[in-house]
Structure 1
Amino acid sequence: MLAVDLGTTSAKVLAINAGSLTEGGQAVIAARGEREYPLLSQEPGYAEQDPDRIAEAAAEAVREAVDGAGCGPEGVLAVAFSTAMHSLIVTDGDGKALTRVLTWADLRAAGHARKLRGSKDAADLPSRTGVPLHAMTPLAKLFWLRERRPELFASAGRFIGIKEYVLERWFGRPVPMDESTAGGTGFYNLHERTWDGEAMRIAGIDADRLPELKPSTHVLRGLLPETAAELGLSPDVPVVLGAADGPLANLGGGALEPGVASLTIGTSGAVRVAVRQPAADPHGRLFCYPLAEGWWIAGGPVNSGGVVFRWMRDKLAPDLSDGNDGYARLVELAMEAPPGAGGLLFLPHLSGERAPHWDERARGVFLGLSLEHDRRHMIRAGLEGIVLHLRSVADALAGLAGGLREIRVSGGFARSAALRQLIADILGRPVVRTDSEDASGVGAARLALHALGLMPDPAASASTVTDRCDPNPELVPVYDRLHGMFKRSYERVSDTFAELDAFRSGG
């Protein structure tokens, strides 16, 4: 099985032994391929990528994985896709890109997203689409594009995402969008499983300018012969559309049981749970995306993850920036300060925030800073702030989808035993680490085997628990108190964020 994961920073391809999955064991990864690509940010608010470079990276990574596995074209049973969400590419009638990829991190539509949040016409969109109104969504991006670049908007043939762009190069024809990825666009009606008419009306488009919708188990066949040769694949190999990377991480990491949440902290972060029916948040704090037939993933993403960790290392401890152990030394330094960082709180919203506030103007704040504090306290407060914010998401999620009894963690942040314990203490729940480092790719492979009829229940997880941290009973009430202060702090300064944003903009 080849699992192609189109991420924010790279295309990763796993060559997975199919038998290791169908026989109920751990995913045996025979080879890997990976190619990175840059995020282009020539001006504040821009977060773009070159779609052709991503397509080239995916092709190179596929060839590397096939060659590394030594299986040859006939040894590849199927190809499955996982993709980052919320991307938007404007194409002409022939499928040629007229823009770069506007990624989830592109904030140029922030003002238009605020207009949508204040509009009566859009008030019930989150309950229908399962997506909060935010600049990350293609809905907000198209609303912005129609107003700021009307000629481009009018001349556009179709609006697609990066996975569709890559696959159209492979097949030489328009391809469908899977319902899971569509769930992140702001246009997908979660209950009717169609493009939402009101969302399209607001954006000023018709369904013929969006891809056809298909389930995540839909199979494509008929690779272009020259593309198949370039990839090292047979032209007849089945290619399964797959799903969005977040929902697939729950599938690959075994977080589909009731009360079991998946918490990921990479560059950004997210908390997610699986539900058996659509669970759109009536308060617009959380998302709900399809995964596959009978499964939806509810949760909330945050901007404030590893990017804040990196900022603390670079700005507060530049002497620790050299070498591979810089982050480990940073954690050691932070742990020299007491829990609660000596009465210092940090709001970690250095690049705006998504769940549960959906506030593009939010920024970082230290509260309680005194002459007695040094960088140890500031770093500890920073790490605690990242996790306290994720607790806000987890608490909202527990209220929507039921109580959470266990947190399964992944991502670079969770490699540290001290930080896993911090997560357990702040969330007040056991934290489990599994061996699913490549959860999205493994989830895509499981879904593809299900699509081919070779795995009746893709949710039957074989993830092995490698570590468990229980909350420290003495620290749980400490962090309960701090979390209350943390939540109230955001509420008290949110108006100031708006004023500072206007000041920065010269308004």
Structure 2
Amino acid sequence: MQPYLLGIDIGTGSTKAVAVDLDGKSVSSSQHYYQVHSPQPGYSEQDPEIIFKAFVNCITDVVKATGNSPMAISLSSAMHSVIPVDTNGNALAPMITWADSRSEDIAERIRNSEQGADIYKTSGTPIHAMTPLCKIIWIKENQPELFAVSYKFISIKEYIWYRLFNAFEVDYAIASATGLFDITKLCWNTVACDLAGITKDQLSAPVNTTYKRADLSTSIAGMLTIDTNTQFVIGASDGCCANLGSFVREPGVASLTIGTSGAVRITSKQPVYNYQSMIFNYLLNENTFVCGGAINNGGIVLDWLLKTFSGKSSLTQTDYELLFNDVANIPAGSEGLIFLPYLYGERAPLWDTKSCGVFFNIKSQHTQAHFLRAGLEGICFTLNNVIESLEQSSSAIERIHISGGFISSPIWVQTLADITQKQLIAIQQEDASALGAIFLADDAMGLNKLGNRPALTTEVSILPNKSNKQVYTDRFAVFKKLYQDLKETMHWMHENN
């Protein structure tokens, strides 16, 4: 039986496990899906118990397939979730996910306050409705009875970790995404905690991302079908792990992912601050920051466009193939049609939950394929906006490592290369975040076996088409100006619709 490391990424839509042997070869994988619930507009909730069961099932699937326990299990997790729990770690309410926007007015209030800039600089976290800081304040102001009986406020990873080890502990990466953590002193920020109306004792004990335990109870080990002495590495957030898994570890290189949403990240030895565009600064470990910006409107926008134009409630692979075939026949720039893709508000670099989607300059020659291509370009323009903000605040980005489902579409990837005018490196692998968690396990265990390029990873280089540079430079300038020109009207419509 060959030894292996298991990385588990606890995401918003699913939990995925990837097993890699000490030669870097993929051994097995498992993925279990679950739903997000929206009981009211702006709400995004999940049952943490269902996610815990998916976590358990991923482990038991891999153990069954491999026939033996992993040497270590390392965790990656989505950021910004909040679960109020009692003294036994039981959830007192549904988990509030990163996508929940109910606290948008609270975020705006803090952003416009005198202490807003200080909280951003201390925490490295954008002041936005996604953050636990704003979510906890919302609970305090709107559900005072729940707030009063909550023993702690924790994330989904902390919830799972407590179920495993009966201990409230949180890694630096997840902590640094709360808005409540001091990213330079590596402790909870008293000012932010006071603002939220909580004490440091109502949060978990922060530990480094290579922190590990091997003291499972017999019952938990039996449920997971693993040995009681199996090492568990607490790991990091999905964004930080994705940088590791995408091999973005040096200046001049960025990672870019597009899934439901999207993000651009660099790795830095110091934080990169920009209060206007609110670049995030999350800790990969005590000496390394992952800096960048995340957008709300990634693949979810393309799904909406395709469903809307096709009239279908569900999509197949053939639907996507037909879309990309149609788009490929439309010239760069969509013959002047421009799309602001802010269907779900927007995070970086706008931080505007009241923004909305806009098609501009519609002409009689524009067909369905034009609208779809403009949608594709709009998503890429939004990501280029984040890249531009990062470069203005740090240093030039020479190449971008890309990952996510979109890399299977040559036209989407080429459009991104043409708009950014950067060399793209498509990282083809099982899961960048799960692989990053495996790298952390390799480090925590002192194995140093995986090196920089596990065998399961391949790379493809995509160069920008220089002939499209000018048209996209011109369109990008209009794209940015459109938002500024329409911002006031967007906000009025948001308040009065």
Identity level (%): 37
Normalising to structure 1: TM-score of the pair? 0.94
What's the secondary structure of 1:480's corresponding residue?
helix
2:463 is aligned with 1:475: no
Deviation by residue 1:372-395 (Cα, 9 ceiling, x = unmatched): 212111111110000001000011
Residues 319 and 50 (structure 1 numbering): CA distance in 2 closer, same or farther, change over 3 Å? Answer: closer
Q: Tell me the CA shift for residue 29 of structure 1.
A: 1.6
Kindly provide the amino acid, as one letter, of the partner of residue 92 in structure 2.
L
The answer for the alignment partner of 1:369 in structure 2 is: 362
The answer for the alignment partner of 1:65 in structure 2 is: 62
- Is the 8 Å Cα contact of residues 320 and 329 (structure 1) preserved in structure 2? no
2:134 is aligned with 1:130: no
2:245 is aligned with 1:241: no
The answer for the alignment partner of 1:352 in structure 2 is: 345
Kindly provide the amino acid, as one letter, of the partner of residue 496 in structure 2.
F
Looking at structure 2, the residues matched to 256 and 462 of structure 1 have their Cα atoms a distance apart, in angstroms, of 15
The answer for the alignment partner of 1:258 in structure 2 is: 251
The answer for the alignment partner of 1:269 in structure 2 is: 262
Query: 1:30-45 residue pairs with structure 2 within 5 A?
Result: 30-45=27-42
The answer for the alignment partner of 2:424 in structure 1 is: 431
Q: Tell me the CA shift for residue 435 of structure 1.
A: 2.5
Query: 1:24-423 residue pairs with structure 2 within 5 A?
Result: 27-70=24-67, 72-73=68-69, 76-171=70-165, 173-318=166-311, 322-423=315-416
Kindly provide the amino acid, as one letter, of the partner of residue 366 in structure 1.
F
After TM superposition, the structure 1 stretch with the greater mean CA deviation from structure 2, 288-297 or 139-148, is 288-297
- Is the 8 Å Cα contact of residues 132 and 286 (structure 1) preserved in structure 2? yes
Looking at structure 2, the residues matched to 4 and 148 of structure 1 have their Cα atoms a distance apart, in angstroms, of 34
- Is the 8 Å Cα contact of residues 253 and 461 (structure 1) preserved in structure 2? no
What's the secondary structure of 1:180's corresponding residue?
helix
Residues 319 and 53 (structure 1 numbering): CA distance in 2 closer, same or farther, change over 3 Å? Answer: closer
- Is the 8 Å Cα contact of residues 86 and 151 (structure 2) preserved in structure 1? yes
The answer for the alignment partner of 1:24 in structure 2 is: none
What's the secondary structure of 1:447's corresponding residue?
helix
- Is the 8 Å Cα contact of residues 43 and 102 (structure 2) preserved in structure 1? yes
Aligned-residue CA RMSD (Å): 1.6
Report how many aligned residue pairs link the two structures: 492
Looking at structure 1, the residues matched to 316 and 341 of structure 2 have their Cα atoms a distance apart, in angstroms, of 25
Gaps spanning 5+ residues in structure 1: where?
21-26
Residues 309 and 391 (structure 1 numbering): CA distance in 2 closer, same or farther, change over 3 Å? Answer: same
Kindly provide the amino acid, as one letter, of the partner of residue 11 in structure 1.
T
Deviation by residue 1:9-44 (Cα, 9 ceiling, x = unmatched): 111111211x11xxxxxx312111221111011211
Looking at structure 2, the residues matched to 150 and 187 of structure 1 have their Cα atoms a distance apart, in angstroms, of 20
Kindly provide the amino acid, as one letter, of the partner of residue 326 in structure 2.
L
Deviation by residue 1:150-174 (Cα, 9 ceiling, x = unmatched): 1111111000000111111122x22
Deviation by residue 1:177-236 (Cα, 9 ceiling, x = unmatched): 000011111111111111111111111111000000000011122112111011111111
Deviation by residue 1:296-324 (Cα, 9 ceiling, x = unmatched): 10010001100001001100133796532
2:12 is aligned with 1:15: no
Deviation by residue 1:389-430 (Cα, 9 ceiling, x = unmatched): 100001111122210000111111121111111111000111
The answer for the alignment partner of 1:452 in structure 2 is: 445
Q: Tell me the CA shift for residue 334 of structure 1.
A: 1.7
Deviation by residue 1:254-274 (Cα, 9 ceiling, x = unmatched): 111211111100000000011
Gaps spanning 5+ residues in structure 2: where?
none
- Is the 8 Å Cα contact of residues 153 and 202 (structure 2) preserved in structure 1? yes
- Is the 8 Å Cα contact of residues 256 and 459 (structure 1) preserved in structure 2? no
The answer for the alignment partner of 1:5 in structure 2 is: 9
Looking at structure 2, the residues matched to 460 and 292 of structure 1 have their Cα atoms a distance apart, in angstroms, of 18
Q: Tell me the CA shift for residue 329 of structure 1.
A: 1.1
What's the secondary structure of 1:475's corresponding residue?
helix
What's the secondary structure of 2:336's corresponding residue?
coil
- Counterpart of 1:497 (choices 479, 490, 494) is 490
Looking at structure 1, the residues matched to 315 and 136 of structure 2 have their Cα atoms a distance apart, in angstroms, of 42
Residues 319 and 239 (structure 1 numbering): CA distance in 2 closer, same or farther, change over 3 Å? Answer: closer
Deviation by residue 1:465-500 (Cα, 9 ceiling, x = unmatched): 532111111111211111111111111111112111
Looking at structure 1, the residues matched to 333 and 196 of structure 2 have their Cα atoms a distance apart, in angstroms, of 46
Looking at structure 2, the residues matched to 288 and 281 of structure 1 have their Cα atoms a distance apart, in angstroms, of 10
